C-alpha cells in the first residue's frame, strides 16, 4: 500500500509515529510549527532524547520519505491519512487545553481530500471526537480515534511490539484502512528495529476496533488504572514504613498473582510526566461533567501529590529533624529513566522542596539537566557527574531509576559523601544497598 500520510505535531508521539511510518514505506509529511524543532528534525535528529529515534529520523530524511514542514498546505491535500498528534497542555484547573486539537482539526479538515481519514492520536477527553465532528461538519466515518499507548524511553519498541492497537469510529471500512497501516508497520518491524539499533520485542498484540467514545475512554482509563496501581502501592508503602515491612517484597508476592500482575506496583516518589497527572485530572473532570464522582481517582491523585513531601519528611527524620544547612544531593531529575523529559517530575519537586526547607541542594541527571533548569529553583546547583554531586553531602535522594544511578558502585558514595550519610532511595531500586550499609551508610527507601 503506498499511501501518503501527514502527521500533525512533532512531540514524542508525532515524531516517533512519523519516523516509524516513513520506515514502513509511506511518504510522510510531518508538520511542526516550532522553527527550532523543525530545523533539528530536518538535520536528521530529534530535539529530545529517545532511544533509537535519531537513526530512523536520519534514514527518513536522507531517503526523502520523511518530509518535515511547517505548512499544512504542503502535505494535507495529497494525504490519504492525517494523524493529529498535537499537544494538549494543562489548563490551570488541571484539565487539558484542547485549543491545538481543535485548531489542527479545523485547518486540516478544510484541506483534506473527501476520502481521506482524520486520525486522532492526541489524548483527549471522551466526547472530543463527537464535538469535532459536529463543529466542523465532518462526515462521521472519516474521523477515527486511535489512542497512543507508547511510553517515553521505549517509544519505538512500544509502537512496533504493541499490546493493542485501538481504532474507534463508525465506519468499518475506514477502521480497516487504519488497521492496514499498522499491519504494514508490523510487517517491517524487524528491519526497523535493526535500523534503529533497538532490541526486537516479543509481544503479539491485538487489533481492537470499537466506537469512537469507547476508544477515547480506553486510553484515559488505561493510564488512570496504571496511576491507580502506583498510588495503591505508595499507600501500602506508607503502612509498610510504619510496620517495618518491605514494600518491594510485598509487591513481588502480591504481583505474582497473575490476576494482579507486578507491573506498575513500584512504590517510591510517585508518578510524573506529561501523561498520568494530566490524564487522571482529565478523567476526574470528564466524570464531573457527566455527574459522576470518580472519588477513587481523586484519592489516587492525592496520594501521588503527597509523595514528594513524604520523601522530604522521611529524610528530615533521618537527619535528626532538620534540613536547614544540610547538603543534599538529588540524583535523577527526569520523570523516569530513558528520557530527558522533566514535566511534573518528582525529582524536580523533591529538589525544590529541599531547597525551600533550607537545604543546600546539588543535582545530577544523565540526560535531563537542560530541561530541568526551567523548573528548578535557582539555588539548586547542577553537576555533570554523580561523583561531583556527592562531594561532602550529608544525604542523597535517588529520584529517578536510571541504570547509571541504580547500578553505581557503593564505593562512589563512600569516596565522596560525608561518613554515615543518609541515602534515601526514592525509587526503591538501588542495587548495591547491602554494600552501602556495610560501608556504614544509612540506606533507606520508601516503604522499606
Ligand atoms: C504512560 C503510559 O505508560 C503509556 O502507555 C502512555 O502511552 C503514555 O503514558 C501516554 O499517555 O502518552 P509515560 O508517561 O511515558 O507513559 O511513562 P510511564 O512509564 O508510564 O511512567 C509514568 C510515571 O510513573 C513515571 O514517573 C514513573 O517513574 C512512574 N512509575 C511507573 C512509578 O512510580 N511506579 C511504577 O511502578 C511505574
**Does the beta carbon of 275 sit less than 6 angstroms from any atom of ligand 1?**
yes
In a domain, 157, yes or no: yes
Q: Which three cell numbers stand for residue 40?
A: 533539528
Helix (H), strand (E), coil (C) string for 242-282: HCCCCHHHHHHHHHCCCCCCCCCCCCCCCCCCCCHHHHHHH
Q: Is the pTM of this model over 0.85?
A: yes
Atom of ligand 1 nearest to the CA of 345: 26
Q: What is the pLDDT of residues 187-205, one digit of tens each?
A: 999 999 999 999 999 888 9
Range of the domain at 335: 276-445
**Does the beta carbon of 220 sit less than 6 angstroms from any atom of ligand 1?**
no
Check residue 262 and give its pLDDT.
98
Check residue 2 and give its pLDDT.
80
Q: Which residues pair with 279 in a beta bridge?
A: none
Q: Which residues pair with 168 in a beta bridge?
A: 145, 210
Q: Which residue, 20, 6, 209, is CA-closest to 119?
A: 6
Q: What is the pLDDT of residues 388-430, one digit of tens each?
A: 999 999 999 999 999 999 999 999 999 999 999 999 999 999 9
40: confidence class by pLDDT, cuts 50, 70, 90: very high
Check residue 360 and give its pLDDT.
98
Q: Which three cell numbers stand for residue 215?
A: 476508544
Check residue 1 and give its pLDDT.
54
Q: Which residue, 362, 368, 420, is CA-closest to 391?
A: 362
Residues 286 and 372 in one domain: yes
Q: What is the pLDDT of residues 8-31, one digit of tens each?
A: 999 999 999 999 999 999 999 999
Strand order in the sheet with 381-382: 381-382, 360-364, 327-331, 395-398, 422-425, 442-445
> Catalytic residues, which ones?
275
Residues 301 and 433 in one domain: yes
Q: Which residue, 396, 378, 388, 377, is CA-closest to 329?
A: 396
Q: How far apart are CA 393 and CA 377, in angstroms?
A: 19
Check residue 89 and give its pLDDT.
87
Check residue 310 and give its pLDDT.
98
Q: Of the residues 182, 210, 238, which one is the last residue of a structural domain?
A: 210
In a domain, 185, yes or no: yes
Asked if pLDDT for residue 102 goes beyond 80, the answer is yes
Atom of ligand 1 nearest to the CA of 400: 28
Q: How far apart are CA 150 and CA 143, in angstroms?
A: 21
| Nearest protein CA to atom 19 of ligand 1, as residue | 151
In a domain, 300, yes or no: yes
Asked if pLDDT for residue 207 goes beyond 90, the answer is yes
Average pLDDT over residues 206-224: 97
* CA distances, 353 to each of 324, 330, 332 (Å): 12, 11, 15
Check residue 91 and give its pLDDT.
82
8 A C-beta contact, residue 372 and residue 339: no
153 CB burial (10 A radius; 0-12, 13-18, 19+): buried
For the chain, the average pLDDT equals 96
Number of folded domains that form the chain = 2
**Does the beta carbon of 262 sit less than 6 angstroms from any atom of ligand 1?**
no
Asked if pLDDT for residue 93 goes beyond 80, the answer is no
Check residue 90 and give its pLDDT.
80
Atom of ligand 1 nearest to the CA of 154: 15
Q: What is the pLDDT of residues 235-250, one digit of tens each?
A: 999 999 999 999 999 9
Residues 297 and 198 in one domain: no
Amino acid at each position: 500500500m503506498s499511501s501518503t500520510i501527514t502527521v500533525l505535531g512533532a512531540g514524542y508521539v508525532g515524531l516517533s509515529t512519523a519516523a516509524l511510518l516513513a520506515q514502513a514505506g509511506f511518504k510522510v509529511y510531518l508538520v511542526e510549527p516550532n522553527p527550532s524543532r523543525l530545523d533539528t528534525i530536518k538535520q536528521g535528529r530529534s530535539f529530545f532524547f529517545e532511544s533509537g529515534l535519531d537513526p530512523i529520523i536520519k534514514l527518513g530524511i536522507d531517503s526523502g520519505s520523511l518530509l518535515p514542514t511547517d505548512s499544512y498546505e504542503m502535505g494535507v491535500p495529497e494525504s490519504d491519512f492525517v494523524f493529529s498528534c498535537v499537544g494538549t497542555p494543562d489548563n490551570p484547573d488541571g484539565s487539558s487545553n484542547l485549543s491545538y486539537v481543535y485548531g489542527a482539526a479545523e485547518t486540516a479538515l478544510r484541506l483534506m481530500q473527501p476520502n481521506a481519514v482524520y486520525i486522532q492520536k492526541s489524548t483527549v477527553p471522551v466526547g472530543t471526537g463527537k464535538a469535532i465532528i459536529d463543529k466542523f461538519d465532518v462526515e462521521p466515518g472519516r474521523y477515527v480515534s486511535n489512542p497512543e499507548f507508547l511510553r517515553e524511553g521505549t517509544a519505538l519498541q512500544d509502537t512496533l511490539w504493541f499490546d493493542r492497537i485501538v481504532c474507534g469510529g463508525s465506519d468499518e471500512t475506514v477502521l480497516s484502512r487504519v488497521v492496514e497501516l499498522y499491519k504494514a508497520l508490523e510487517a517491517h518491524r524487524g528491519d526497523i528495529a535493526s535500523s534503529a539499533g533497538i532490541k526486537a520485542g516479543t509481544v503479539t498484540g491485538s487489533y481492537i476496533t470499537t466506537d469512537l467514545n469507547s476508544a477515547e475512554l480506553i486510553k484515559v482509563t488505561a493510564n488512570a488504572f496504571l496511576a491507580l496501581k502506583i498510588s495503591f502501592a505508595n499507600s501500602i508503602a506508607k503502612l509498610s514504613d510504619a510496620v517495618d515491612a518491605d514494600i518491594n517484597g510485598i509487591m513481588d508476592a502480591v504481583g505474582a498473582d497473575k490476576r494482579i500482575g507486578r507491573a506498575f506496583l513500584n512504590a517510591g516518589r510517585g508518578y510524573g510526566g506529561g501523561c498520568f497527572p494530566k490524564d487522571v485530572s482529565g478523567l476526574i473532570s470528564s466524570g464531573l461533567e457527566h455527574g459522576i464522582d470518580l472519588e477513587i481517582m481523586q484519592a489516587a491523585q492525592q496520594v501521588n501529590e503527597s509523595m514528594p513531601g513524604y520523601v522530604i519528611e522521611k529524610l528530615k527524620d533521618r537527619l535528626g529533624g532538620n534540613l536547614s544547612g544540610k547538603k543534599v544531593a538529588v540524583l535523577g531529575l527526569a520523570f523516569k529513566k530513558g528520557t530527558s523529559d522533566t514535566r511534573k517530575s518528582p525529582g524536580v519537586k523533591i529538589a525544590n522542596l529541599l531547597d525551600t526547607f533550607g537545604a543546600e541542594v546539588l543535582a545530577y541527571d544523565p540526560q535531563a539537566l537542560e530541561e530541568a533548569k526551567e523548573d528548578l529553583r535557582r539555588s539548586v546547583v547542577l553537576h555533570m557527574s554523580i561523583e561531583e554531586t556527592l562531594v561532602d553531602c550529608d544525604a542523597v535522594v535517588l529520584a529517578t531509576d536510571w541504570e547509571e544511578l541504580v547500578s553505581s558502585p557503593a564505593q562512589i558514595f563512600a569516596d565522596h559523601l560525608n561518613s554515615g550519610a543518609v541515602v534515601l532511595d526514592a525509587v526503591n531500586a538501588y542495587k548495591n544497598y547491602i554494600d552501602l550499609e556495610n560501608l556504614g551508610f544509612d540506606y533507606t527507601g520508601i516503604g522499606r
